[in-house]
Amino acid sequence: MREFIWGLLSMETAVAALFFLRSWRVTSDRLFLFFALAFFAMMLNWVGLSRVDASRELLHYVYLFRLIAFVLIIVGIVDKNHASGRRNGRPGIGA
């Protein structure tokens, strides 16, 4: 049953990644690209959890994909705020 749920979660995050990728192609907004990459990393996390033996589930390297996903979301938000500050004539973060 656990593998089914992880398969379902990996499919849902793959679909979300494809929607964000399509939005990025239409708008050329890099925030959508960062979110697409983050959801792709989350998909890898769920696939990795389904492939690892349940007794070894708590190994840290499986959760690195989740860490990468959250870092990508944070970088995307900071990049979006920095870019909007430059566009409005205001200096960006750290300037």
50, exposed or middle or buried, with CB in 10 Å at 0-12, 13-18, 19+?
middle
Give the residue among 27, 41, 45 at the shortest CA–CA distance from 71: 41
81 pLDDT higher than 60: yes
pTM here is 0.80
Non-local CB neighbours of 39 within 8 Å, separated by 6+ positions:
13, 14, 16, 17, 20, 69
pLDDT in tens, 9-67: 999 999 999 999 999 999 999 999 999 999 999 999 888 888 877 676 566 777 888 99
Mean pLDDT of the region 71-77: 96
Cα 37 to chain center, whole Å?
5
